[in-house]
Structure 1
Amino acid sequence: MGRNPIKENQNPYFRARKQAAEWDARLESRERASELIGIAAYTLADYELGNVKRVPADKVLIMADLYNAPWLLSNYCKNECPICGFLPLATEEKNICSVTVRLLKALREDELENMKNQLLEISQDGKIRDDEVEAVRKISEYLDGIAEVISEFKIMSDKALKGK
């Protein structure tokens, strides 16, 4: 058996394949996995070793489906896509307890009500005044946090519901 280089173990494509190999023996070898993806084994090795600047999006879609790793999609969008890199997306799978606690904490009624009132106040005149900029920034950060938790929930639920 060969050794797994340290760099390789940290790569999301490698991690996703190894996790999937726990329930699908076809994915244990890079050679067999590459056949299922429709690429050469050396190409998959390049993806898993980080030797390419950007993995083609169509191959990420195939790997995410084959490995039942929906988090690969948001990881690609967040870390590789030149357009979506700034979006508040989750990049790893979390457990349902962690996601639920974060989601319920983010959706507290009093905070939502406060944000709603601030937005109504700010938008009354149809523009953002200089004295409202900080409030808008805080609202935007709050919504980014909610968006990230929703993204975590989507990753967790997509994986759990696949095939059901």
Structure 2
Amino acid sequence: MSRTLRSNGNIYMKARLKAANFNDKLKSREGASEILGVSPSSLLNYEKDVCKQIPTDVVVKMAEIYNAPELMNYYCCNECPIGKNTVPHLELTDIGYLAIQISVSLKNPESMIDRLMEIVQDGIISKNEKPELKSIVGKLDGFSEKVQSLKLWAQKNLR
């Protein structure tokens, strides 16, 4: 997936410009680069996708300074060689919608846990049990993603 969202800037630039609504110094690359501790040319390279990979410490600083924790998730999902295969893409979404999704995910968890215990109690996962175990793991992954999205929302909005 390409980092470029529009021809004139990527997710990092958009986050900086959005943050500029609350900090005038972020309106210019010079001001932002001073706060981030990088050169204006480096920031330009990051925002125009000239740099193949932004240093992780810079992404962390951007996320903090721009109040955009979603940048770290984006980086992990799209640029980190390990994260590309292990980190779920999280959406910043409405808190009410997240609460509903989590509530629906929690419906009748006892039956799923009971079935999980039945499958693993003998220490052997039979050929017949594998599809059901895979389904349970998938449901737990989905729940975990919803919880992580809630954490992302909280990081952004409860700061």
Structure 2 length as normaliser, TM-score?
Answer: 0.88
RMSD over aligned CA atoms reads 1.7
Task: Name 1:117's counterpart in structure 2.
Answer: 114
- C-alpha change, 1:54 and 1:74, in structure 2 (3 Å) is same
Conservation of the 8 A alpha-carbon contact between 2:90 and 2:145 = no
Task: Name 2:134's counterpart in structure 1.
Answer: 137
Q: Which structure 2 residue ranges, 5 or more long, are not aligned?
A: none
Determine the C-alpha separation between the residues in 1 that align with 2:140 and 2:14: 30
Where do residues 1-150 of structure 1 align in structure 2 (5 Å cutoff)?
6-9=6-9, 11-108=10-107, 110=108, 112-150=109-147
Conservation of the 8 A alpha-carbon contact between 1:88 and 1:148 = no
Greater CA drift, 79-88 or 142-151: 79-88
- C-alpha change, 1:142 and 1:73, in structure 2 (3 Å) is same
Determine the C-alpha separation between the residues in 2 that align with 1:8 and 1:130: 53
Q: CA deviation at 1:90?
A: 4.0
Q: CA deviation at 1:51?
A: 2.0
**Number of equivalent positions:** 155
- CA displacement, residues 94-149 of structure 1 (integer Å, 9 cap, x when unaligned): 221221121112222x1x12220221111011122111111121112111111111
What secondary structure does 2:129 align onto? helix
The amino acid across from 1:95 in the alignment is D
Q: Which structure 1 residue ranges, 5 or more long, are not aligned?
A: none
Determine the C-alpha separation between the residues in 2 that align with 1:65 and 1:131: 48
Determine the C-alpha separation between the residues in 1 that align with 2:80 and 2:72: 10
Structure 1 length as normaliser, TM-score?
Answer: 0.86
Conservation of the 8 A alpha-carbon contact between 1:90 and 1:152 = no
Determine the C-alpha separation between the residues in 2 that align with 1:38 and 1:143: 40
- C-alpha change, 1:92 and 1:13, in structure 2 (3 Å) is farther
Identity %: 36
Greater CA drift, 59-68 or 139-148: 139-148
The amino acid across from 2:43 in the alignment is L
Q: CA deviation at 1:88?
A: 4.7
Q: CA deviation at 1:49?
A: 1.6
Conservation of the 8 A alpha-carbon contact between 1:90 and 1:151 = no
What secondary structure does 2:83 align onto? coil
